[in-house]
Amino acid sequence: MIRDLCDGQLEGAEIGSTEITFTPEKIKGGIHTADTKTAGSVCLLMQVSMPCVLFAASPSELHLKGGTNAEMAPQIDYTEMVFKPIVEKFGFIFNCDIKTRGYYPKGGGEVIVRMSPVKQLNPINLTDRGCVTKIYGRAFVAGVLPFKVAKDMAAAAVRCIRKEIRDLYVNIQPVQEPKDQAFGNGNGIIIVAETSTGCLFAGSSLGKRGVNADKVGIEAAEMLLANLRHGGTVDEYLQDQLIVFMALANGVSRIKTGPVTLHTQTAIHFAEQIAKAKFIVKKSEDEEDAAKDTYIIECQGIGMTNPNL
């Protein structure tokens, strides 16, 4: 996909290959289609293409096909509800239009992402977590799965959260995906917590054959609660997704996190090697974080400038 976005040369990109050579050219805007032809994640296609098209010569429209709610990747709901509002703090906006949802194993989902290029990215400072003010989400079923499954996932998640957070209304909507907007069968849930300073955290889970609905709901709720305990301003999944933007931004960015994940360490390693950005990861020195495993990731961004604008 990235080769096509920039008319580049790509060698060795086949199954079984142990090395690739990529030679990029000028990043083009316009309409691009990328199809995994499986339940491969459209969100991962979006993750890799977004930093590139921000520095394109003209606006882009990305037609991404595959899984929208798949394992081992963000669900499209996470991308819309958590990733989008936070990443837009870097000073750009994008539109994500979900045409069809696709699930494992069939895929068949499609989203259209539209965005305009920027001259530069602004640095961000996400170090003040605030307190949780809202908890909301959606529990969905698609295809042949009964609506009761969505209601059961939602109810189990609400019960689980109530044990720990008693003073907030938890609003999880059960949803039957319309037949014409979902391909194949699937079920899952995403729950988002919002804080007084605009931080967003999520827990999510997907149903699998033979796993009862309550268990799916509880898994998502427990993931959310774990992400609210560490005192950071981002959850464990947003952490690594912000690294590339911090590296490219013009100035110093700071985010407060829980334990630094292997994904984040990897992203930092490559951002330092390839973009020559400088990162410092240190334990948070704030009093309220003393007993917690909380870190500050600081980055001196390279101030990447769009040569086309």
Catalytic sites, residue numbers: 263
- Residue 169 marked in a binding site: no
Has 128 been labeled as part of a binding site?
no
Residues 258, 293 contacting (CB under 8 angstroms) = yes
Distances (CA, A) of 151 to 48, 154, 164, 187, 204: 35, 5, 21, 11, 15
Query: What tokens appear for 20 in the block?
Result: 């690739």
Q: What would the DSSP string read from start to end of 178-223? A: -GGGEES-EEEEEEEEEETTS-EEEEEEE--TT--HHHHHHHHHHH
What 8-state DSSP symbol labels residue 132? E
Rounded CA-CA distance 234/241 in Å is 10
Q: How many CB atoms lie within 10 A of CB 54?
A: 24
47 annotated ligand binder:
yes
| Residue 295 and residue 259 in contact, taking contact as beta carbons nearer than 8 Å | yes
Known binding residue 239? Answer is yes
Q: Does 300 belong to an annotated binding site?
A: no
Distance CA 32, CA 93 (A): 18
9 labelled binding-site residue: no
Binding residues for ATP: 47, 237-241
- Residues marked as binding? 47, 237-241
